Amino acid sequence: MRRLLALVAIVASFGCGSDILGPVQTVDGNWTGLQNGYSMSLSLSQTGTSVTGTADFLGVGGAASGTVSGTFVYPALNITITFPSVSDVNYKGTMSESQAKIFGQLNGSGFTNLELDVKKR
């Protein structure tokens, strides 16, 4: 229980602050979001339109880490997050034209259009 609370505190601190970077054209880097009771952290690498990386997810059901694969063709991000022992989760988002932020939704593994936006750290 203490680990979960510590993880919640760490992840929540990533979501704090109002400083959002200016617009970007790639998804390379670290992205975090805290919305609707869920927190997601993405570490993404982009080569051409291909995107790979890792994801950390925290919600009411606990915490999980997984791998990311998908595509990014500005402004559309379409990735699949694969977690061990859980069905895949799809994240579809649209990059903001004015800031380093992706407006997205999670689907799969119990999620149906759950809004979870992420911003670049």
Where are the chain's structural domains? 2-120
Per-residue pLDDT, 1: 43
DSSP code per residue over 71-105: EEETTEEEEEEE-TTS--EEEEEEE-SSSSEEEEE
Please determine, for residue 2, whether its predicted confidence score (pLDDT) is greater than 70.
Answer: no
Distance, CA of 87 to CA of 11 (rounded, Å): 23
pLDDT tens sequence across 83-115: 998 899 999 999 999 999 999 999 999 999 999
Average pLDDT over residues 38-54: 98
Please state which architecture CATH assigns to domain 2-120.
Answer: Beta Barrel (2.40)
| pLDDT category of residue 18 using cuts at 50, 70 and 90 | low
Give the residue with greater pLDDT, 23 vs 112: 112
Per-residue pLDDT, 26: 96
